[in-house]
Chains A and B, each alone.
Chain A
Amino acid sequence: MSMWLYDLLIEPWTHAYFIKAALGGSIIAVACAVLGCYIILRKMAFIGDAMSHALLPGVGIGYLVMNALFPGGFTAGGLLLGALIAAVLTSLCISFLSNAGRIAEDTAIGIIYTGLFAAGVVILTRFQQHINIDLNHFFQGDIYGIAWSDLWLGAAVASVVLAVIIIFYRHLTIVSFDPTMAASIGLPTHFIHILLTVMIALICVAGISMVGVIMIVGLLITPAALAYLLTDRLPHMMIWAAVMGVLSVVLGLYFSEWVNASGGGSIMFVGFLLFIVGLILAPRYGLLAAWLRRRRIVPQADIEDVLKLAYEGCCQLSDMAMGVVRATKAARQMVGEELLDPTSLRQGSILLTDKGRQEAAHIMRSHQLWEGHLIQAGMTAQAAHEAAEALEHLHHREVLVDFAAELEHPVLDVDGRPIPPADSSG
């Protein structure tokens, strides 16, 4: 038994490739997750996706140029520089195209990134023999094959990204939250947008060799989105995102070892599963919590029906037309709102408090005035009574004032019963 656990959990860590993958993946995941918080808050997810693909021509040209200048060595710098230029160019092209005329921003993104990506594919396939970049590698990455140089590059880029976010935390936050106010206090909003773009490009270049272009977008967005469901404080969101990013990497790598599947794919698949679990179970913003909240809500119409019936003298929950279950739920809520007397409710009967009587009178008045109004508008008495059962819940003060004026301030309703006077407290 313990041997089995050892094989499952400890054994992978005895291999250098696994340690390197976990280390490299975690470094990239942390930087991606923290940066990702701004991407999802600024609703830039599609731009992130576009950016990562549009890097390809930059990477290709960068590689060619560096190879021509320094044959055989130092291509990482060229890749980074090329990617940066491509990222800034992408961002500028998108904003130019979406401001130029009829083309909307999402269309512009779609055009620019497929166009640049296609250019990259053309360059890579045309200069195949000079460029040592495999398209398949660009898509999938090779997390188990990362070299120490990849690791160092990743660590350097992640440090820069995290440092920039820490230094410019205030600026990034206010530009994301209220760009108009940010501009009014003189912050360079455009520069900050470019800064964010450049950081996305940097982290993509560092991460693509590990997990590939599609999975890097996942690492940017999914852990941050999960964190967004867990908290509503930005610093907490960043920490949660980082934790979830690292968790995706480590669990994903385990998973890929156990089932013998691709590392990058496993990481993002586990990240996706974590998100689904969070989506369901998140304490406040999860689906389960929302469902429970909805179930607890008592329809206002039920409360008003109980009020009216109690006002008319029905005093047993079991006599309510809506059924005893719904009536009981409504009654419990009403005790909380101080509309019903709690001691009598425990004995199964309903007794209105003063506040309850006042509210009930308002609903009664609403019913009677609606009835009067509908009959005046040409309905039969029977139809008006049924319609008023539904419409009485629309009892905004102004509506009732209008009806009362229209009916010349009646004292008795259509059945000759007294109409409670208008509630002065509103």
Chain B
Amino acid sequence: MSGPDQSNSAVSIEHLTVSYQTKPVLVDISLEVPRGTVVGILGPNGAGKSTIIKSIMGFVPRDFGSVRIFNEPVDDACGLVAYVPQRGQIDWNFPVTVRDVVMMGRYGHRRWYQSMRALDRAKASEALESVRMSEFMDRQIGQLSGGQQQRVFMARALAQESEILLLDEPFAGVDAATERAIAGLLAQAKEQNKTVIVVHHDLETAAEFFDAVVLLNRRLYAYGPPREVLDQGLLAEVYGGKLRNLSWRQEEAT
């Protein structure tokens, strides 16, 4: 094994190649995410960001390569990762309350014939408390602000008690206050030594949220500390010609 310290590895991807029909979506991706880090996955549309998330959950057929969660093959490691979906994937009119959603985080802990126990309810309340959403327990989820909704799903992930959290575009389309709230949640998860993997779209904010950044466009272009990865030359290569606007904004900001 060539990776750095195996015992400390939360997610370990080796030579992962995934395709839809004949079109490759991910080509020969290898990376190690150490326990307790917050990693951002960046790349243009269609770069395979969601596919890599799905691979870590173990339900994408691989053409080649392996994904290991705490050194277990991902196919045996069901339930070790907690998933926070993209806002757009949720039907906000669905008749469930905040409490119902967070309790879903406990479903994986009980067999189908077992009912939820006091322990599950306690864990759910605790998770809601930790994101300061207890007072909204009985609200239908559509009647919350965007930031509160994001916190509810974060609470669900915490109630799952998984060591790895996967967040799909949590910062997409949120206002500045919500952005701060989510960043706070990431920091909080890191304090608890959770490993957090975030699909992210905004290059400008990446440096302040993540310990490490993955730059992806079907191939793995770079993986490392944000300052090194978010190098203008490399970004231009990954994003093609679409980067002019960004550099203009950065010049103006300085």
Give the B-binding residues of A (Cβ under 8 A): 41, 167-168, 170-171, 173-174, 176-178, 180-181, 183-187, 228, 231-234, 236-237
Residue of A nearest to B21 (CB): A101
What's the Cα separation between A180 and B57 when bound, in Å?
9
User: Are B83 and A173 in contact, CB atoms less than 8 angstroms apart?
Assistant: no
What's the Cα separation between A168 and B140 when bound, in Å?
22
What's the Cα separation between A167 and B110 when bound, in Å?
13
Chain A to chain B: the 5 pairs with minimum beta-carbon distance, closest first: A185-B108, A186-B78, A232-B140, A184-B57, A232-B95
Residue of A nearest to B82 (CB): A184
What's the Cα separation between A75 and B113 when bound, in Å?
34
CB distance from A378 to the nearest CB of B (A): 23
Q: Which of chain B's residues have a CB closer than 8 A to the CB of A168?
A: 112
What's the Cα separation between A316 and B107 when bound, in Å?
61
User: Are A173 and B96 in contact, CB atoms less than 8 angstroms apart?
Assistant: yes
User: Is B231 an interface position by the 8 A CB rule?
Assistant: no
Since A41-B91, A177-B94 are in contact, a sample of 15 more A-B pairs with Cβ atoms closer than 8 Å, ordered by chain A residue number, is A167-B113, A168-B112, A170-B112, A177-B90, A177-B101, A180-B57, A180-B83, A181-B83, A185-B107, A185-B160, A186-B78, A186-B108, A187-B107, A233-B95, A234-B96
Given A177-B91, A177-B94: A184 in contact with B107 (beta carbons within 8 A):
no
Given A174-B107, A185-B79, A233-B140: A180 in contact with B95 (beta carbons within 8 A):
no
What's the Cα separation between A181 and B90 when bound, in Å?
11
Chain B 83-115 near chain A by CB (<8 Å), digits 1 or 0: 101000111011111001100100110001100
Most chain A CB neighbours (cut-off 10 Å) among B89, B95, B104: B95
User: Are A178 and B85 in contact, CB atoms less than 8 angstroms apart?
Assistant: yes
User: Are B104 and A171 in contact, CB atoms less than 8 angstroms apart?
Assistant: no
Q: Which of chain B's residues have a CB closer than 8 A to the CB of A186?
A: 78-79, 108
What's the Cα separation between A228 and B140 when bound, in Å?
13
User: Is B59 an interface position by the 8 A CB rule?
Assistant: yes
User: Are A170 and B107 in contact, CB atoms less than 8 angstroms apart?
Assistant: yes
User: Are B112 and A177 in contact, CB atoms less than 8 angstroms apart?
Assistant: no
What's the Cα separation between A397 and B156 when bound, in Å?
34
Q: Which of chain A's residues have a CB closer than 8 A to the CB of B186?
A: none
User: Are A180 and B89 in contact, CB atoms less than 8 angstroms apart?
Assistant: yes
User: Are A233 and B94 in contact, CB atoms less than 8 angstroms apart?
Assistant: no
User: Are B79 and A184 in contact, CB atoms less than 8 angstroms apart?
Assistant: yes
User: Are B112 and A171 in contact, CB atoms less than 8 angstroms apart?
Assistant: yes
What's the Cα separation between A232 and B85 when bound, in Å?
21
Q: Which of chain A's residues have a CB closer than 8 A to the CB of B116?
A: 170
Residue of A181, A183, A232, A234 near B104 (CB, 8 A) is A181
Given A171-B112, A178-B104, A232-B140: A184 in contact with B95 (beta carbons within 8 A):
no
Given A180-B89, A184-B83, A233-B140: A174 in contact with B57 (beta carbons within 8 A):
no
CB distance from B111 to the nearest CB of A (A): 11
Give the A-binding residues of B (Cβ under 8 A): 54, 57-59, 78-79, 81-83, 85, 89-91, 93-97, 100-101, 104, 107-108, 112-113, 116, 140, 142, 156, 160
User: Are B112 and A184 in contact, CB atoms less than 8 angstroms apart?
Assistant: no
CB distance from A266 to the nearest CB of B (A): 30
CB distance from A67 to the nearest CB of B (A): 39
Residue of A178, A183, A185, A228 near B95 (CB, 8 A) is A228
CB distance from B165 to the nearest CB of A (A): 11
What's the Cα separation between A170 and B103 when bound, in Å?
10
Residue of B nearest to A233 (CB): B95
User: Are A237 and B95 in contact, CB atoms less than 8 angstroms apart?
Assistant: yes
Q: Which of chain A's residues have a CB closer than 8 A to the CB of B93?
A: 232
Given A174-B107, A178-B104, A186-B78: A231 in contact with B95 (beta carbons within 8 A):
yes
Given A170-B107, A181-B104, A185-B107: A41 in contact with B83 (beta carbons within 8 A):
no
Residue of B59, B85, B95 near A234 (CB, 8 A) is B95
Residue of B nearest to A236 (CB): B95
What's the Cα separation between A180 and B56 when bound, in Å?
12
Q: Which of chain B's residues have a CB closer than 8 A to the CB of A231?
A: 95
CB distance from B160 to the nearest CB of A (A): 8
User: Are A178 and B57 in contact, CB atoms less than 8 angstroms apart?
Assistant: no
Residue of B nearest to A405 (CB): B252
Most chain B CB neighbours (cut-off 10 Å) among A41, A185, A186: A185
What's the Cα separation between A237 and B58 when bound, in Å?
34
Q: Which of chain A's residues have a CB closer than 8 A to the CB of B85?
A: 178, 180-181
Residue of B57, B59, B89, B95 near A41 (CB, 8 A) is B95
